[in-house]
Structure formats: structure tokens, C-alpha cells
Structure 1
């Protein structure tokens, strides 16, 4: 895997801050990783194809809950059966990826916010809705999550969606189930925590967008969606300007400095190789089956967004 550390800027002080906020330390993390590694080896249906960095970050993302990490590791391998369109064949060198980059700009900002959250921004949506294939961007997004699962170190995410070019055509083409599936993968397979979704340049289309959010997102996430009118500066009450690109009123630099840069720093084969590692459901212990998909989705239903 390529070194993305030069793009994601995480200082030792920020790592220490995250650990302090979660009430953990180096010794506790090493003990947890060792224990979780041993647990993973004892699961006959799961491959032992993760490194310690991934386990540590899943532990951090799970607020140091061992049980939630176990659910996460199971989901990480098992949900590939259920959502292959989201979690497999993430070819960042393929024609679909090249097409996507021309019609919608997605970026993970390199610097953490002052309270140690990672900012992701979706902007420059093509006004021609036929060029915006939402499942394709979901596939690209989980590719970024895959990288962050071994490289990032934060308390959660802030997502900013620029609605400037979004119109009724985009709304009509939005699949509610797709959003629900993406949320499930986000919070279970990657154990990420969402602090807030900020809709900027919100206009008359905002009512339709909020209606979709209400239908698609969990009740907890619905309360974390915030709209900002065109020309307002209310976004900066939540996120400092140096984490926002120039085009959205920030001071971080132009959008093109950040769009897809995290993915571009990763070897193409590294992501594709992840397809090899998934659960073998024929070997799942009988006591794990609860009448739902792969014996784990029943537990997913009980999980809340932390």
C-alpha cells in the first residue's frame, strides 16, 4: 500500500488527544489488539487477514468497546456477500472511476478539525443527473473508508454536501435503500461515527433532500443533518475555515488539491485484493445464526450510531 501519511495529516498530539478523549492509552490498546487478534483466529468463518493497525483503528472507532469491534470485524468480512456493489471490485484505475471523477468531486480533507474530526466533502455535482450514478460513488466512498481504516486516527466524521448544482433530477434518481445500505456499511463494517452532515448552499431543493434523509437515515442520524443557506457562514460555527476548500468559503486551498487525492495515493491492486477476504458462511458456528443474514444483521439492528 502506498504511504498516505503524507496526505492525511495526523500529529502525535492529535493521536494523544483522541486516546485521552476515549479514556485509553498505549498499553490498553496493545492488550486489546492482542486479545482481538486471538479472538479473530478462533472464528472458523473469518479470515485472519487484517493487520494490527486496522484492529487498533476499529477499536478507536468503536470507542474502545471490545464487543463492538468483534461485530465490526465480522461485518467487515461478512457484508461483502450482502453488498458486493459497495464493498467489492473497487477499481480506482478503471473506467468507471475515471468517469466518476469528471462528474462529482469527493474529497477527504487532510487535516483534522480542532476537536479531532475528519472532514469529507462532496461538491461540484454535475447538473446533468444522468451523469451522477450514486452506487458508483458509494463504491468509491467505501474505498476511501478502507484506506482510513488503516491510516486515519480521529473521533469521527463531519460530512459536507454541496447542494449548489443539485436539482430535482438528482433527487428522483436517489435510491433510499442505497443510502440505508451505505449507512449500515459505514457504521458496522468500518465502525465510523458521524458527528454531523452539513448541507451547504441549500436552496428550494432542500425540502426534497431533507425528506429523503428522513426516509433513508436512522433516527439518530436525522438529528445530525444541518442545512446552511447560500451565502451564510454558519458552517464555520462547526468547522474551521482551514478544513474547508476555497470554493466553499474556506481557506484550505482549491477543491482540485483534495478531490480523490486519498485514493490516488493507494496502489490499485491493494484495494482489489480486499475482495479475496470475506467470510465463509458455511463455517459460521451454529450459535451465531439468529435467523437473519449471516448471523450478524440481527445484531446490527440493535446498534445505534455512537
Structure 2
């Protein structure tokens, strides 16, 4: 567990960094671009406005200050606003998600212990390339795109999952969107071999972190494949995802079919679009996440954990107990 001096350091760094990110003034970057009225449209969609959000953030910060088990309490307001947006505008859901995320960081530290995208773990692009497309869809959802280029190994899967954690922490203070449309390009992958090599327990854990901790909202999942064996992958995903999300899985055989849902012009150049290639997008992500400033931030935020010996028993609700219970089961498996 963390001693007082480490806690003080984490809080101090978080406080200093929080002023660097202003949610009200979104700036287009090489990896993230926005629609002209993204902030207003997203808030309106969730029945929120600046005044309401300010009040919710005050309440959120007050609640955090009373959580004895949090090892870091000075979360930036942009970070907390992102929690609220991801929770569909619900402060209570945002609290639950943040509590779960801090708990995951304690119970499964291996996903959160690497912070330098370029140096801490191997480049996975020979096996899997994953990015968010720079442009937002008109409805302010962002496209998360995964290209499978080869069979997945155990170390590759873990590094991919760690990279996803870093990307999610980065977008919490640098992005503003309602959720994601996920595109999985499986055209160059042997899906039977792929599924046979996936560590199911790790994938289940990672999906729980993403869906319950980061509260990722997914409107649709499109799998590009003309192979009949795609059913092997869809069957696995449907077992791991909630029934609601599983019902949003769609298989498209060609890029032309995908264009009906994701505009062609916003796609990577090698997918017929007007943006740079997917590999260039991936390298841009690696470069941005590997700056000294972002490495320091990611190291700090990935250590925002829970110290369970300080948790007030009355606050240990069924949802959090569910996390602990699942881990007891996994440890036996």
C-alpha cells in the first residue's frame, strides 16, 4: 500500500497537471479533432449545461474528499467531467465508475504498471494496429479502429491491453465525445487461430475495466470479414459483453458496406479515405503518448488506486463487492 509521502506526491502532481487541460477550450491535435459545436452538442444530448456541470463537479470533488480509500483525491475537473459524460450525465454512475476504476488499479496492477508507450512494452503493430480516427462522426461519437494483421500471442495481447489503458487515460482529459463506434478489421487474420490463442480471462478483465471503470459507451461494433469463421469471434464477444452491447455487433463483408455507417472520407488513406494511413495514425498516437509530460501524467493517474483497508465498510456496496468476488473466482481459475 501507499505511504503518506507517496500520496502527497500524487496529489501534488495531479493538482499541477489539472491546470494544463481545459475542457471548455478544445483544440484540434494530430490525433483528435472536433466538430465546431462538440461541447455544446454533447452536453445538450445529456441534458447538461455549464452551470449544471459546475455544480456536479463541486459535488463530485466533495464526495471524493470523503473517500478514505482513494490514494489520490485531487482529480482534475476535466477528468471528472469526462467521468460524468461517460456516465451519461449521471453523477452517481460517475462515482461508481471511478470507485471501480481505482479498485481495478489495485486488484489488477499489471494492466496499469507501464506508462511509456514507446519504451515500456513492445510495439504490437506487427500483430495489431489500433487507433481512434482523428475526426468525430457528426453525432459526436468517435471511431475506434482495430486492424488485426497476424495471430495474437500472450505478450502481444497484454501489451495491447496496456496500450488501451493509456489511451483511455489520455482521452479522459483530452477528448470530448458521446462514445465510440468500434471497427474490427479481421480480413487478414485467421479467426479460428486468433480465438484459440486469446487469453479469455485477461480479455474479460480488460473489457470489465473498459466498460465498468472507464465507462466506455459503444453504440455499434462492426467486424469486417467475409469469412464464415467470423462466427467464432462474434460468439466469443457475445459471451464476454453485456447482452445490450452484444446486440450491437454487426458483420460487414467489404469496406463499401462499412462506408454506410462510417463515412469514407474520414477513414485512413489505405481504407479509401482522406486521412493518413492507419499505421501513421498509430505512430502519431505513440508519439503523443510518449512525450515527457504525458508519461508523467499517465504514471500519476495509473497510480490513483484504492487502499481497501481504509474503505468505510458502509460504502462497500454490492457493485464493488462484485469486483472483489470476481477476482476471487479468477484466482481459483
Find the residue that maps to 2:282 and give its secondary structure: coil
Of 299, 307, 315, the residue aligned with 1:288 is 315
SS at match of 1:90: coil
Q: Does 1:116 align with 2:147?
A: no
- Flag the 1:96–1:89 CA change in 2: closer, same or farther, 3 A: closer
SS in structure 1 of the partner of residue 210 of structure 2 = helix
Partner SS for 1:159 = strand
Matched residue SS, 1:110: strand
- The alpha-carbon deviation at position 251 of structure 1 amounts to 3.0
- What displacement does 1:290 show? 5.0
Of the candidates 56, 65, 70, which is equivalent to residue 32 of structure 1?
56
Distance in 2 between residues matched to 1:183 and 1:222, nearest whole Å:
13
Aligned equivalents of 2:94, 2:232: Cα separation in 1: 36
The 8 Å contact of residues 126 and 165 in structure 1, kept in 2 or not, is answered as yes
Contact 2:129–2:149 (Cα < 8 Å) also in 1: no
Residues 44 and 130 from structure 1, CA distance in 2 versus in 1: closer, same or farther, beyond 3 angstroms? Answer: closer
What is the distance in 1 between the residues matched to 2:55 and 2:104?
A: 27
Equivalent pair of 1:105/1:260 in contact (CA under 8 Å): no
Matched, 1:234 2:257: yes
Shift of 1:108: 1.2
CA-CA distance at 1:12 after TM superposition: 4.7
More displaced, 107-116 or 208-217? Answer: 208-217
Where 1:101 maps in the other structure, the secondary structure is coil
Say if 1:33 and 1:296 are closer, same or farther in 2 by CA, change over 3 A.
Answer: farther
Contact 2:154 2:199 in 1 (8 A): no
2:304 matched to 1:277?
A: yes
Aligned pairs for 1:1-306 (under 5 A) are 5-7=28-30, 8-46=32-70, 47-94=72-119, 96-97=121-122, 99-123=123-147, 125-130=148-153, 133-167=156-190, 168-229=192-253, 231-266=254-289, 267-290=294-317, 295=321, 297=323
TM-score, with structure 1 as normaliser:
0.88
* 1:50-100 superposed Cα distances (whole Å, 9 cap, x missing partner): 100000111111111111011022122111122222233233132523x32
How far, CA to CA, are the matches of 1:114 and 1:20 in structure 2? 14
CA change 1:289–1:129 in 2 (3 A) is closer
Shift, 1:132, TM fit:
7.1
The count of aligned residue pairs is 296
| C-alpha deviation, 1:223, in angstroms | 0.5
Contact 2:126 2:150 in 1 (8 A): no
Task: Give me the whole-angstrom Cα distance separating, in 2, the residues matched to 1:204 and 1:213.
Answer: 16
Give the secondary-structure state (helix, strand or coil) at the position aligned to 2:135.
coil
Which has the higher mean CA deviation after the structures are superposed, 163-172 or 147-156? 163-172
Evaluate the alpha carbon distance shift between residue 291 and residue 34 of structure 1 in structure 2; reply closer, same or farther with a 3 A threshold: closer
Deviates more, 1:260-269 or 1:49-58: 260-269
**Where do 5+ consecutive residues of structure 1 fail to align?**
301-306
Report the Cα offset of residue 270 of structure 1.
Answer: 2.5
1:241 to partner: Cα distance: 1.5
Larger deviation, residues 218-227 vs 88-97: 88-97
CA RMSD of aligned residues (A): 2.5
Q: Distance in 2 between matches of 1:237 and 1:298?
A: 42
Mapped contact 1:241–1:252 kept (Cα < 8 A):
no
Q: Distance in 1 between matches of 2:42 and 2:304?
A: 30
Which range moves more in the overlay, 155-164 or 166-175?
Answer: 166-175
3-state DSSP class of the match of 2:223?
A: strand
Query: 1:303 — aligned with what?
Result: none
TM superposition shift of 1:200: 1.0
